[in-house]
Amino acid sequence: MGERVLFQVVRGERFSPVIYCHWSGDEVRDICSRLRERMQGRGGDVQYTAARLVQECTNGDTGNLSFGIWNADSVLTETDSHGDGGVVLIDVSGAQMEFKCLGGYWLTVPGDLPRNKTREERDSENFYRALKAVNS
């Protein structure tokens, strides 16, 4: 159901509210690219990065569905994922924004934008997840 993805901006122990996108899971790379470009020169700013992220996610949408924001008690983990696009943590601690992908079909690429996992990577991940469940 949908192409769900959860975003959160982090910097050390600080973190933003969760930004939920129901139909944007397949747009993660584009959203992250636009956000990185937009926030050049404003590194480390969790609040403003989260606000600009909302703008990039909604991209002028005029409806009243498909996007949400809620306060978080902690930094998101893989277990918070709805599947689909998973969780994308946007780390603004360093000189360049970094993206960490959890629990979805996006793959973390250090120093670069996220990329889709190959079918082999997804199959391997599912195999090891199932093996772990059987051995638990």
Count of structural domains within the chain: 1
The residue segments making up the domain with residue 110 are 5-134
pLDDT of residue 121: 78
Confidence of residue 67 (pLDDT cuts 50, 70, 90): very high
- pLDDT tens-digit readout, 102-111: 999 898 888 8
Confidence of residue 2 (pLDDT cuts 50, 70, 90): confident
- Let me know: does 53 contact 90? Beta carbons within 8 Å: yes
Res. 37: pLDDT tops 70: yes
3-state SS class at 69:
strand
Res. 50: pLDDT tops 70: yes
The structure's pTM equals: 0.88
- Residues whose CB is less than 8 angstroms from the CB of residue 107 and which lie 6 or more positions away in sequence, other chains included: 101, 114, 115, 116, 117, 121
- pLDDT tens-digit readout, 76-97: 999 999 989 999 999 999 989 9
